[in-house]
């Protein structure tokens, strides 16, 4: 019996997936629920399990190809093929070929629309344009943001771009071309190596550009005395290790963030046109650096967890992110994010907001510094916390009050 292996629907907002790697080859035996291939979307890299036990008889989608959801990517044969079955399939194929071609024309149009990035879909909606009106210049004819905006510009001017308009066109392209679409010219004889971006890297690039175009980014920085936290971590570390949990500073930070979000709920909100959407759940995304990119798994309902529960969640999600074992729902529905450049030695950073959230916290390295306490110099463990926030709905006073709340909690932490 022939079983179809399809590109799964990896979430309501995801229309396509990139088959990044086959874990089995044609002719290999495969067990049900055994990892069969890896998929990369704009939200997650993950392994897809085999739907049945059998033989991987035919691979239809190559590594690196991006296809719409529900596309058949391979076939699994659950029993030995019979010649009669193959012959019947060939007859049916010949009889239905003409019908298939007609259907394929309609499906191709639907699939081409599904291949549009979120940024392109948004532009098309804003300018009331059908995808069929634009000739895409991206890979495989894909429509890019550049194509849409140039089309709008030319339509507005009601004439083709003349030679005299070249400077204006160049300015338009400079504003809208993303790193994914733009490549510097290669000089003859130049010693270089050109490596295509991975799917995840492309998606990260698109999301970063989209976020900067969407939110009015502002960053504020606070200095926090972490000496109390350093001592408490040393006291609790052995106890947590008995539970199989590594206690990190990020667990203390998340615990403080939860309290600050409750006191400043607008930082836990999102924006829809001119509406502010307040989130009742507190779901904290933690950025995890991977060899092949960055992913942000989410601790759901972090406000219901103890310090131990937070530490366990951080450890579990981080480990499974690095081994591609995360589920799609574990990278969705975040309401606030945290990133830790300090683990690499950075003192501070100005992180980009993870849309559709309105703020993200950056943790700097904890460093011993001389500080003045009660007119005396003391050596303390100091950390810089930076908050990038969306100035459309968060004012500077609110952002500073939020960080001040975190600072006060950490410096006077009592569990």
Q: Which domains does the chain have, with CATH numbers?
A: 2-81 (2.40.50.100), 118-185+193-201 (4.10.320.10), 217-411 (3.30.559.10)
The pTM assigned to this predicted structure is 0.64
For residue 240, what are its two tokens?
A: 């947590």
257-284 burial, b at 16+ Cβ within 10 Å, e below that, comes to bbebbeebebbbbbbeeeeeeebeebbb
Q: Enumerate residues 6+ apart whose C-beta is below 8 A from 123.
A: 129, 145, 148, 149, 152
For residue 407, what are its two tokens?
A: 């600072």
For residue 394, what are its two tokens?
A: 């968060």
Q: Reply yes or no on whether 45 is catalytic.
A: no
Q: Enumerate residues 6+ apart whose C-beta is below 8 A from 57.
A: 2, 26, 27, 74, 75, 76, 77, 81
Cβ proximity of 254 and 317 under 8 Å: no
Exactly one of 28, 127, 333, 395 is catalytic; name it.
395
Exactly one of 28, 127, 333, 391 is catalytic; name it.
391
- Taking only the tens of pLDDT, the chain with its 415 residues reads 889 999 987 654 567 788 989 999 999 999 998 999 988 876 677 888 899 999 999 999 999 888 888 899 999 998 755 434 444 554 555 555 544 444 444 444 444 555 677 677 877 887 888 888 887 776 667 787 777 877 777 776 554 444 444 455 555 445 554 444 455 566 777 888 888 887 777 878 888 898 999 999 999 999 999 999 999 999 999 999 999 999 999 999 999 999 999 999 999 999 988 899 999 999 999 999 887 778 899 999 999 999 999 999 999 999 998 888 888 788 889 999 999 999 999 999 999 999 999 999 999 999 999 999 999 999 999 999 999 999 999 999 999 999 999 999 999 988 6
Q: Reply yes or no on whether 159 is catalytic.
A: no
Q: State phi, psi for 310 to the nearest 5 degrees.
A: -65, -45
35-72 burial, b at 16+ Cβ within 10 Å, e below that, comes to bbbbbbbbbbbbbbebbeebbbbebebeeeebbbbebe
- Computed over its alpha carbons, how large is the radius of gyration of the chain? 26
Question: What element of type H or E holds 411?
Answer: helix 396-411
Cβ proximity of 406 and 256 under 8 Å: yes
């Amino acid at each position: 019996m022939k079983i179809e292996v399809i590109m799964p629907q990896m979430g309501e907002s995801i229309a396509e997936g990139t088959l990044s790697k086959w874990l089995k080859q044609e002719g290999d035996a495969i067990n049900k629920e055994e990892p069969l291939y890896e998929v990369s979307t704009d939200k997650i890299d993950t392994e897809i399990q085999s739907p049945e036990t059998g033989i991987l008889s035919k691979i239809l989608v190559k590594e690196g190809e991006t296809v719409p959801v529900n596309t058949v990517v391979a076939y699994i044969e659950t029993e030995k093929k019979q010649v009669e079955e193959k012959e019947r399939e060939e007859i049916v194929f010949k009889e239905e070929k003409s019908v298939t071609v007609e259907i394929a024309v309609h499906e191709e149009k639907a699939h081409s629309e599904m291949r549009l990035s979120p940024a392109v879909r948004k532009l098309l909606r804003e300018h009331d344009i059908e995808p069929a009106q634009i000739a895409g210049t991206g890979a495989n004819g894909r429509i890019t943001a550049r194509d849409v905006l140039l089309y709008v510009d030319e339509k507005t001017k009601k004439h083709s771009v003349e030679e005299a308009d070249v400077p204006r066109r160049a300015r338009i392209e400079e504003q809208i071309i993303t790193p994914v679409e733009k490549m510097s010219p290669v000089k003859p004889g130049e010693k270089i190596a050109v490596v295509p971006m991975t799917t995840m890297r492309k998606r990260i690039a698109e999301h970063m550009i989209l976020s900067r175009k969407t939110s009015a980014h502002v960053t504020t920085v606070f200095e926090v005395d972490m000496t109390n936290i350093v001592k408490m971590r040393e006291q609790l570390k052995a106890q947590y290790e008995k539970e199989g949990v590594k206690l990190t500073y990020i667990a203390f930070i998340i615990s403080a963030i939860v309290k600050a979000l409750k006191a400043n709920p607008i930082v836990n909100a999102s924006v829809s046109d001119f509406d502010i959407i307040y989130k009742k759940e507190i779901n904290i995304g933690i950025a995890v650096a991977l060899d092949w990119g960055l992913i942000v798994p989410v601790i759901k309902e972090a406000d219901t967890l103890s310090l131990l529960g937070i530490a366990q969640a951080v450890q579990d999600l981080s480990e499974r992110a690095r081994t591609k074992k995360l589920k799609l729902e574990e990278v969705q529905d975040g309401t606030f994010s945290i990133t830790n450049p300090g683990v690499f030695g950075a003192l501070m950073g100005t992180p980009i907001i993870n849309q559709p959230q309105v703020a993200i916290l950056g943790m700097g390295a904890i460093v011993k510094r001389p500080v003045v306490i009660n007119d005396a110099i003391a050596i303390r463990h100091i950390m810089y916390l930076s908050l990038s926030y969306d100035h459309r709905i968060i004012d500077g006073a609110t952002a500073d009050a939020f960080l001040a709340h975190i600072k006060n909690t950490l410096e006077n932490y009592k569990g």
